[in-house]
Structure 1
């Protein structure tokens, strides 16, 4: 049994990241990192799920992995070094810096310009801050084992028929009444789901792209509490392997990709 943590103290016990591309023929468009600054006193995690565009013009000469690596790297650096900024401010600044890298070569106003879902979490000796934008998920596990899933459910609230084509989805992307992703507009950071939880109420946290969250959301193999249990026992790689087994066993039953890029970050505090 884990010894209760004294108020105001912080002891990182475990941090793991795992990712697996949906296909060996395609580059992985996810990006993830866990940052534990050498100065101690806290840490951060970053998770991005790059949005795969349909074939055709996207207004940009760069790939989605190019975008997620640069946005993710900037988010990691800022989350670990700028305690004076909120997570929304960090996301806004990271989007602006990334946009500046290719504003001279690309049409950043294009609806399909490279973009990604975002999960950010940052903790210190007193609290855990979080931010979620679009359909990746953050799990917060309490000392008693209860798990809270933090989700941006705007995409879920859109009727499936409204997303039946790429053109229809484009009309709802980053627009009022639709759903939002991190692309080139820093103002989207204000659309994210954010919150703050006292540190004594969090013993572990995890971030999952939708490819890893399929274990719960598509296959119903367990709920979020059981998912957190798999992560604690088998780590992110174990959860992703479980997803791959379920995907292979269900070939032909689902529309879309059989395997998606799947990434998970797990941290115990």
Structure 2
């Protein structure tokens, strides 16, 4: 596996709430959820702390437990992160900090994937087709966007709502998961929604994103996002800029 990645904070922001980690046979991308203004999370830590803790726990689990299933690994990383701040923070608070998780791993002749919340993985197959693993449950909450704070709180990590890495390790078992023969995959793209807006808002195709990552690298995807954000309108419910991360894996 050859892995390249780029991550960047939104313009004008002093910190990045995305996170990316990678090893010889795996890569993981996380996107921390920005808390709305005025929300008391019950946690003394900020979102960058959460994604750094979760990412480092994921890296440790992936490196030392290569035979465990990806849901078990993600659940273990959530538990380890909870332990890291259980003594200082209210983990029962429904607004506790949270993060998406996307993991790709090669082992035993297979490529395993896990997608929890809206950080998709795009597999490029050797026959030229793409397989998009996109957990879009946050797009299907009742009433349409913009969602109320109360609806999001009531829907997070609940059946019929959406699932995310926060203070419920069992959320890992609600992720989209699967395995494909490694011989059928030539590349894979892991993204946060700061990059997928190229597809969702700005008219690009998944094929175009994969081609750009393969030929020009992940940094070019983020450069394209920034150009579009400067020149185009964004939906009323969305931020003008967002943190953006792309990881490209090739064989």
Q: TM-score, normalised by structure 1?
A: 0.89
**Cα offset for 1:124?**
2.5
* Gap change, CA 1:232 and 1:116, over 3 Å in 2: same
What CA distance in whole angstroms lies between the structure 2 residues aligned with 1:119 and 1:220?
Answer: 23
Equivalent position to 2:7, from 9, 19, 22: 19
CA contact (8 A) 1:21 1:262 kept: yes
Instruction: Spell out, residue by residue over 1:144-181, the C-alpha distance to the aligned partner (whole angstroms, 9 max, x if none).
Output: 22111101121122245375322222111111211111
Equivalent residues, number: 250
What CA distance in whole angstroms lies between the structure 1 residues aligned with 2:47 and 2:151?
Answer: 21
**Cα offset for 1:92?**
0.6
Q: Does 1:225 align with 2:207?
A: yes
* Gap change, CA 1:252 and 1:182, over 3 Å in 2: closer
Q: Mind listing any 5+ residue stretches in structure 1 that lack a counterpart?
A: 1-11, 37-42
Q: Mind listing any 5+ residue stretches in structure 2 that lack a counterpart?
A: none
Instruction: Spell out, residue by residue over 1:86-127, the C-alpha distance to the aligned partner (whole angstroms, 9 max, x if none).
Output: 000000111001100100110111111111000011102501
Equivalent position to 1:241, from 203, 209, 223: 223
**Cα offset for 1:205?**
0.8
RMSD over aligned Cα, in angstroms? 1.5
Structure with the greater alpha carbon radius of gyration: 1
Equivalent position to 1:250, from 216, 225, 232: 232
* Gap change, CA 1:233 and 1:159, over 3 Å in 2: farther
User: Could you tell which deviates more after superposition, 86-95 or 172-181?
Assistant: 172-181
What CA distance in whole angstroms lies between the structure 1 residues aligned with 2:185 and 2:51?
Answer: 28
What CA distance in whole angstroms lies between the structure 2 residues aligned with 1:268 and 1:85?
Answer: 23
| Alignment of structure 1 residues 82-231 onto 2, 5 Å | 82-124=65-107, 126-161=109-144, 163-221=146-204, 223-231=205-213
**Cα offset for 1:142?**
0.8
